[in-house]
Amino acid sequence: MSTATADIHDRPAESRVNYLNASYGIKSWLLTTDHKRIGLLYLGTITFMFLIGGTAAALMRLQLIEPQGALLEPETYNKMFSTHGIVMVFFFLVPSIPATLGNFLIPIMIGARDVAFPKLNLMSWYLFITGCAFALVAILSGGVDTGWTFYPPYSSLYSHTPVVVMALGIFIAGFSSILTGLNFVVTIHKMRAPGMTWFRLPLFIWALYATSLIFILGTPVIAITLFLLGLERLLHVGIFDPAIGGDPLLFQHLFWFYSHPAVYIMILPSMGVVSELITAFSRKKIFGYSFVAFSSLAIAVISFVVWGHHMFVTGQSIYAGLVFSVLSFLVAIPSAVKVFNWTATLYKGSISYQAPMLYALGFIGLFTMGGLTGLFLASLATDVHVNGTYFVVAHFHYIMVGGALMGYLGGIHFWWPKITGRMYPDMWARVSAVIVFVGFNLTFFPQFVVGYLGMPRRYAVYPAEFQVLNVMSSAGASVLAVGYIIPLVYLTWSMRYGAEAGRNPWGAAGLEWTTPSPPPTENFEVAPIVTEDAYNYPIKQPRDYPNAPGVAHV
């Protein structure tokens, strides 16, 4: 593709004051209260944690190439899958879109100068890195082997690993996310620009609002649960201890009360991103705006009443099982509404296949597969057979990686020019998106099969008849790894050498595309007043978008 021509109406980014060059020095970053800089601080931190979680996964997949693999001792393998799960869930996926894209974009998308509590926002980041530090200490002292689920009595009375330290890290990171959620809810309620009514908000905002509700309502419960677990571990007696009449299943109830909604924390923001990408790259307004908006809220609400589907085979009462099974089927409905609406948006749209769009389309397909396989798990009869197998592992990786992570990458690519003022090389980006898609399916589709055939999860060794599928999965993992590393390279490269992006390189609708790239510290040169609905395509073409899809280049 041709390189962008600098817009004659914007001075080049370097000579214009924006949030990146408004002040210099490490103190100006470490003591910033600018939501955009805080978003970038998070971006760096979670990328680092992703590499740690990814390394654990790589070691696991290497071990599983051989049925009786000798790379890792079983005890070490247990620590690998635990570390992988804990780091990826608590220290990567939960903060990923909210803390990076959410922090950066929410005030701009609603027309505000910053979030409601900028200093609290900075404190959130410090809490987060403190949590990461505790987790790293736990990992470096060997790591925990309890699984990311920490079930007692193993985790409380028998494991000889740094459970308390790791639990403390998650506890602290949890408070970081509570404060973020709180900040977002108040910001969205109270700081929208004049004319920005609820039903003119971008769907990304609706999705993040719903996510923030889950942050506020769910995270405190994992906090108290891990706290109680820590006490039981330290005192050698506690409320989950059967010796004094305690019930280990009570831990599971309290744990999953948060951890199930947590998976919606991980997917909802991605769905919000996809709504933005699909509309921008079909140049068409979303089909059924209010259905998509309300489906985000419905997902957030219903997500809180389904947690028992993680406990169908652990000894839960059959009556509770029935209730949770029925409710779990219900939660599929608003997700399906979104998929239908995105598809209907694509219909008769003017579609282009830039990298963000490739990620969005990949999301829709892979999320649908993940969601449909969730129904197998919601159904009591089939869950009995596939629970605890690789079928479950494949299901949630389709959602988390095929869904959430692809949405995250799509969002990073879409808003990269806004964040940095630079474009990345589109060909490399498209190639990586395809590599990710191929690598992902090669890694995880075989896991559906091998799980259905009975291979259990969390085992360091497996029967020889499953080897072919496992080798395919491990091969896929290496392709996937390549697909993740390439963007690290070209995105970093683009920060220095990328073509300058104007205000609106994609020709997309939304307040964030009306302000310079990168934006000034106060986000807007003139406080915006909103008079139009969201996705009001065709938008009045601003002067500069030489990279806009479908536009002939001069």
Partner 1 sequence: MSEHSGHTGHVVPVSTYLLVFFALMAGTALTTGVAYIDLGRWNTVVALAIAVTKMMLVVLFFMHVKYATGLTRIVILAGFFWLGIMITLSCADELTRTWEINPAGWGGIIPFLLRLF
Partner 2 sequence: MSEMAAHGAHKHPPGFAHQFEDMAQQKEASTLGMWAFLVTEILFFGGMFTAYTIYRELHFESFVTGSHLLEVKFGATNTYVLICSSLTMALAIRSAQTGKRKGQIIFWLILTMILGALFLGLKLRFEWYRDYVDGIVPGISWAYNGPHAPGVQMFMCFYFFMTGVHALHMVAGLGILTVLVIMTARNKFSPEYYAPLEISGLYWHFVDIVWIFLFALLYLIGGRY
Of 270, 491, 218, the closest CA to residue 401 belongs to 270
Of 225, 126, 199, the closest CA to residue 530 belongs to 199
> Is residue 66 part of the contact set for partner 2 (CB under 8 A)?
no
245's tokens: 């009449």
224: partner contacted, choices partner 1, partner 2, none (Cβ within 5-8 A by kind): partner 2
CA dihedral (249, 251, 253, 256) in degrees, to 10, reads -130
Please answer whether residues 364 and 399 qualify as being in contact, where contact means their C-beta atoms are separated by less than 8 angstroms. no
- Choice between 131 and 388, CB closer to partner 2: 131
> Is residue 160 part of the contact set for partner 2 (CB under 8 A)?
no
- What is the SS3 assignment for 495? helix
182: partner contacted, choices partner 1, partner 2, none (Cβ within 5-8 A by kind): partner 2
Residues, the chain = 554
| One-letter amino acid of 438 | V
- Choice between 235 and 482, CB closer to partner 2: 235
Interface segment toward partner 2; rule CB under 8 A; list 37-45, 175-183, 313-321, 443-451 = 175-183
One of 33, 47, 316, 467 touching partner 1 (CB under 8 A): 316
Within positions 286 to 315, which residues make up the interface with partner 1, using CB under 8 A? 304-305, 307-308, 311, 315
Interface segment toward partner 2; rule CB under 8 A; list 148-156, 249-257, 337-345, 452-460 = 249-257
**Count of CA atoms in the C-beta half-sphere (13 A) of 367:** 27
Q: How far is the CB of 11 from partner 2 (least distance, A)?
A: 15
Q: How far apart are CA 374 and CA 264, in angstroms?
A: 13
| One-letter amino acid of 372 | L
Q: How far is the CB of 303 from partner 1 (least distance, A)?
A: 11
Q: How far is the CB of 249 from partner 2 (least distance, A)?
A: 10
> Is residue 262 part of the contact set for partner 2 (CB under 8 A)?
no
> Is residue 244 part of the contact set for partner 2 (CB under 8 A)?
yes
Binding mask of the shown chain, residues 186 to 205, with x at each position contacting partner 2 by CB under 8 A: x--xxx--------------
Q: How far apart are CA 144 and CA 164, in angstroms?
A: 9
> Is residue 217 part of the contact set for partner 1 (CB under 8 A)?
yes
> Is residue 276 part of the contact set for partner 2 (CB under 8 A)?
no
Q: How far apart are CA 380 and CA 473, in angstroms?
A: 28
Q: How far is the CB of 320 from partner 1 (least distance, A)?
A: 4
Please, which residues bridge with residue 500 across strands? 422
Please answer whether residues 358 and 430 qualify as being in contact, where contact means their C-beta atoms are separated by less than 8 angstroms. yes
One of 140, 158, 245, 319 touching partner 1 (CB under 8 A): 319
One of 95, 246, 425, 516 touching partner 2 (CB under 8 A): 246
| One-letter amino acid of 456 | P
Q: How far apart are CA 323 and CA 394, in angstroms?
A: 25
- Choice between 26 and 318, CB closer to partner 1: 318
Peptide bond into 518 cis (omega under 30): yes
> Is residue 243 part of the contact set for partner 2 (CB under 8 A)?
yes
285: partner contacted, choices partner 1, partner 2, none (Cβ within 5-8 A by kind): none
Interface segment toward partner 2; rule CB under 8 A; list 124-132, 178-186, 376-384, 389-397 = 178-186
> Is residue 253 part of the contact set for partner 1 (CB under 8 A)?
yes
> Is residue 527 part of the contact set for partner 2 (CB under 8 A)?
yes
One of 105, 109, 116, 386 touching partner 2 (CB under 8 A): 116
Q: How far is the CB of 198 from partner 2 (least distance, A)?
A: 15
| One-letter amino acid of 203 | L
Please answer whether residues 252 and 151 qualify as being in contact, where contact means their C-beta atoms are separated by less than 8 angstroms. yes
419: partner contacted, choices partner 2, partner 1, none (Cβ within 5-8 A by kind): none
**Count of CA atoms in the C-beta half-sphere (13 A) of 144:** 31
One of 68, 317, 343, 531 touching partner 1 (CB under 8 A): 317
- Choice between 25 and 245, CB closer to partner 2: 245
Please answer whether residues 488 and 43 qualify as being in contact, where contact means their C-beta atoms are separated by less than 8 angstroms. no
- The Cβ of residue 72 has, within 10 Å, a number of other Cβ atoms equal to 17
For residue 166, give Cα distances in angstroms to 37, 89, 134, 137, 553.
28, 13, 6, 8, 54
> Is residue 323 part of the contact set for partner 2 (CB under 8 A)?
no
Binding mask of the shown chain, residues 365 to 404, with x at each position contacting partner 2 by CB under 8 A: ----------------------------------------
> Is residue 163 part of the contact set for partner 2 (CB under 8 A)?
no
| Cα maximum dimension of the chain | 78
Q: How far is the CB of 250 from partner 1 (least distance, A)?
A: 7
> Is residue 257 part of the contact set for partner 1 (CB under 8 A)?
yes
Does an H or E element contain 105, and which?
helix 103-110
Q: Which string of b and e fits 178-197 if b means at least 16 CB within 10 Å?
A: bbbbbbbbebbeebbbeebe
- What is the SS3 assignment for 56? helix
DSSP, residue by residue, 89-100 = IIIIITTHHIII
- Choice between 181 and 487, CB closer to partner 2: 181
Please answer whether residues 169 and 105 qualify as being in contact, where contact means their C-beta atoms are separated by less than 8 angstroms. no
Which residue ranges make up the site for partner 2 (CB under 8 A)?
17, 112-118, 178, 182-183, 185-186, 189-191, 216-221, 223-225, 227-228, 231, 234-239, 243-247, 250, 253-254, 257, 520-522, 525, 527
Which residue ranges make up the site for partner 1 (CB under 8 A)?
189, 217, 221, 247, 249-250, 253-254, 257, 304-305, 307-308, 311, 315-320, 323-324
